[in-house]
Structure 1
Amino acid sequence: MTKEILIHQIIDVLQQAGFIVSKRCNIRPRSFDLAARKDETLIFCKVLYNIDGLNEETAREMKSLARCLGGTPVLIGAKTRDQMLEDSVVYMRYEIPAVSVQTLYDYLVEEVPPLVSAAPGGLYVSIDGEVLKEARQRTDMSLGALATELGVSRRTISKYEEGGMDASIDVVLHLEELLDVALAKSIDILRSFEEKINVEVKQEKAPETQPDDGILSMLYALGYQVMSTSQAPFKAISKDTSDTLLTGISTYSSAMIKRADLMSSISCVTRTKSVFIIDGQIKSETVENTILIQKSELDKLAGTEELAELIDERTKKHNIKI
């Protein structure tokens, strides 16, 4: 199986699940390959045949994009090291969930979440501690007796009940058979990551340093919070209290038009506006739904409100739907 086949399969799965899917990010380097949305759920998909090919810098940018745009990064692949990914198993790479196409299909289309996570040493299952404790007490089994039955310590059983330790598949199956109760907690791939992101967002402060790029510094001076990117189709994400802008910077060229077109597709999925600041003359004011603005025009603006007015003016003029 090649990466091309994987991407086509992933697009098919996402569309079956009711997601709208962006055009492929066919530039290099790229922090994600596809953006997809269904209602309030936004996913940034990175596709690698071998999930170990994800590097820390790319993972960091994927997570930053997710924080900034309210989405979830997901890595989809076919193998790890020298073996194929197992279905219904969630792997983690730099805190990003990684799954096979089949696991993605089961989760999004069949609405059957995985139960197993891969970690150093093997495959593990998260136990519902409250259900375990209630089942043990209902059967009048002490911590010691259950520990002896499983061949583990009393402290291990206590940790299972407190939700502080995952168990091997064999242990969970033994417990479920012994207590006649379902104990495995399913893994909600997207929600669990979103909860983690929400905690991190609350702990983070808004950007306080001025960007190095000259044009991004101008946007910062206008009043935008600016998150620079190194591997996305856009140069930055610029935000104020009312707008979020996918922001490109370039001279007017065929390569710029290609990026602006891709940004248009991504902005439709992320529910943002798409703006390209052109250093020099422009031959058109839009590419699809990306607004083109000359740097000389930006020089004349006094704040985010004036830029928003300029964007709205061109949006209406060219009948762009956002």
Structure 2
Amino acid sequence: MTKDILIHQIIDVLELAGFTVSNRCNIRPRSFDIAARQDNTLLFCKVLYNIDGLNEETAREMIALAEYLGGYPILVGAKTRDQMLEDSVVYMRYDIPAVNVQTLFDYFVENVPPLVSAAPGGLYVSIDGDVLKDARTEISMSLGALASELGVSRRTISKYEEGQMDASIDIVLHLEEILDVALAKSIDILRTFEKEMDGKNVKEEEPERTTPPNDNILNLIYTLGYDVLSTNQAPFKAVSKDYSSTFLTGVSEYSSAMLKRAHLMSSISDVIRTQSIFIVEGKSRYESVENTVLIEREELNSLSDADDLETLINERARHRSEN
């Protein structure tokens, strides 16, 4: 299976699940391959045949974009190391959940979440500790007796019941056979990412303003009153936002490559539900490319504040829609 085939399969699954999917990001480098939205669920999807190909820098940018725009990063692939990804198993790479296409289909189309997570040493299942404890006490089985039956310590059983330890698949199957009850807790892939981030104290209700960007043009936007999140691998240079608006921001000289990037930004902004602008160094032949507003740098220099920029963007967007 090639990456192209994999991406087409992923797009088919997401569209079948009711997602609106952006054009494929075919510009290098790229921190994500497609953006997709279903109602309030926004995904930044990275596609790698081998999920071990994800590097930390790319993962950090995906996470930053997801946090900034209220979405979720997800990695979809086919293999890890020398083996294929298992169905109904969630793998983690740099705090981003990774799954194969079948697991993606089961989760989003069939509403069947996975039960197994991959970790160093093998595959593990999270046990519903309350159900385990209730089932054990209902048959008057002591911690020691159950531990002896499984060949583990009493402390291990206690940790299962307290939700402090996952168990191997064999242990869970043996437990369910002994107690005659379902114990495995399903995994919400998107909430898995939130859980990882909460554990690192990343999510904040009122994050501090980003630091001024090094890029001169982005710094101009920052001084107008916008918060600016710079990117290194996305199809856009930054995401800029204030209290009322958010827009993808490109910066380049006018060229055929710039027009291609502006088309892609339009598709992504439609999915993300933001505006899209491109600051052009020098002269521009157009005022907009699809939904991306083109603004010459000299025009940007003449603006006084965020209201001026928003007025200019709205005027050009309105002019485009009238034509």
Shorter-normalised TM range: over 0.9
- Write the distance in 2 (CA, Å) between the matches of 1:170 and 1:10: 31
Report whether the alignment pairs 1:280 with 2:282: yes
State the match for 1:308 in structure 2.
310
What is the 5 A alignment of 1:29-108? 29-108=29-108
- Write the distance in 1 (CA, Å) between the matches of 2:23 and 2:95: 26
State the match for 2:258 in structure 1.
256
C-alpha displacement at 1:201, in angstroms?
2.2
State the match for 1:222 in structure 2.
224
SS in 2 for 1:91: strand
Q: Is the 8 A contact 1:16 1:109 kept in 2?
A: yes
- Deviation string 1:234-260 (CA, Å, 9 cap, x unpaired) is 000001011111000011110000000
State the match for 1:247 in structure 2.
249
State the match for 1:181 in structure 2.
181
Q: Which amino acid aligns with 1:315?
A: A
State the match for 2:147 in structure 1.
147
Q: Residues 236, 48 of structure 1: CA spacing in aligned structure 2 closer, same or farther, 3 A cutoff?
A: same
- Write the distance in 2 (CA, Å) between the matches of 1:208 and 1:55: 23
Note the residue ranges of structure 1 that are not aligned, 5 or more in a row.
Answer: none
Q: Which segment is superposed worse, 199-208 or 295-304?
A: 199-208
State the match for 2:239 in structure 1.
237
- Write the distance in 1 (CA, Å) between the matches of 2:246 and 2:53: 31
Q: Which segment is superposed worse, 143-152 or 115-124?
A: 143-152
How many residues are aligned here?
A: 321
Q: Is the 8 A contact 1:67 1:197 kept in 2?
A: no
Flag as ranges the 4+ runs of structure 1 deviating above 6 A.
none
Q: Is the 8 A contact 1:13 1:109 kept in 2?
A: yes
What is the 5 A alignment of 1:288-299? 288-299=290-301
Q: 1:201 aligns with which of 200, 203, 213?
A: 203
TM-score by length of 1: 0.97
- Deviation string 1:81-129 (CA, Å, 9 cap, x unpaired) is 1111111111111111111111111111111110001110000000011
Q: Which amino acid aligns with 1:156?
A: T
- Write the distance in 2 (CA, Å) between the matches of 1:77 and 1:98: 7
Q: Is the 8 A contact 1:211 1:226 kept in 2?
A: yes
Q: Is the 8 A contact 1:71 1:194 kept in 2?
A: no
C-alpha displacement at 1:194, in angstroms?
3.4
C-alpha displacement at 1:203, in angstroms?
7.4
Q: Which amino acid aligns with 2:301?
A: D
Q: Is the 8 A contact 2:210 2:228 kept in 1?
A: no
- Deviation string 1:211-251 (CA, Å, 9 cap, x unpaired) is 10000100110111111000000000001011111000011
SS in 1 for 2:270: helix
C-alpha displacement at 1:19, in angstroms?
0.4
Q: Which amino acid aligns with 1:146?
A: L
C-alpha displacement at 1:204, in angstroms?
7.5
- Write the distance in 2 (CA, Å) between the matches of 1:3 and 1:136: 48
Note the residue ranges of structure 2 that are not aligned, 5 or more in a row.
Answer: none
C-alpha displacement at 1:197, in angstroms?
4.3
- Write the distance in 1 (CA, Å) between the matches of 2:246 and 2:273: 9
Q: Residues 251, 201 of structure 1: CA spacing in aligned structure 2 closer, same or farther, 3 A cutoff?
A: same
Q: Which amino acid aligns with 1:257?
A: L
C-alpha displacement at 1:172, in angstroms?
0.4
- Deviation string 1:266-297 (CA, Å, 9 cap, x unpaired) is 00110111010111111010001000111111
- Give the share of equivalent positions with the same residue, in percent: 71
SS in 2 for 1:319: helix
- Write the distance in 1 (CA, Å) between the matches of 2:307 and 2:179: 63
Report whether the alignment pairs 1:23 with 2:20: no
- Write the distance in 2 (CA, Å) between the matches of 1:47 and 1:212: 30
TM-score by length of 2: 0.97
